[in-house]
Structure 1
């Protein structure tokens, strides 16, 4: 009986440890050269933090000399969805 309780407690501990595993944050940058046309975008890399993503996006817009016309967004932990033919993100920020 005690042996079963120890095995059960160990199993619960292991399963809860696996389910609490946190995925590292990855922020994907997209730059929109014409902010009025959000269907046209360019992927601008993946970054470790939202701040890095924002800064890289702004730098790219300035590099393209599109500060007045362009926009950007950063997506958290994005993955490509085959059926929708697009990237799906946990969160979008600007």
Structure 2
């Protein structure tokens, strides 16, 4: 469980552009809707983005094309959501 629920639009900070966040600004608004929080990336993963209330909003495996996001790129409220999904679809 996170300290507080995230629901609505939140500011996401990109820590590492990597593959799925390539071409995004350092900060963007995204739709969030969750009560749980990934506080740190598991072994073998790198944090790609965080928010003020969630330590891991996006992460990537260091060796495999495996990604996780806490926010909702598929929702129209998320800025650059279409680009995130396009980047993901282009992962080899």
- TM score, norm. by length of structure 2: 0.25
Question: Which structure has the bigger radius of gyration?
Answer: 1
Task: Name which structure has the greater RCO, CA cutoff 8 Å, separation 6+.
Answer: 2
Larger relative helix fraction: 1
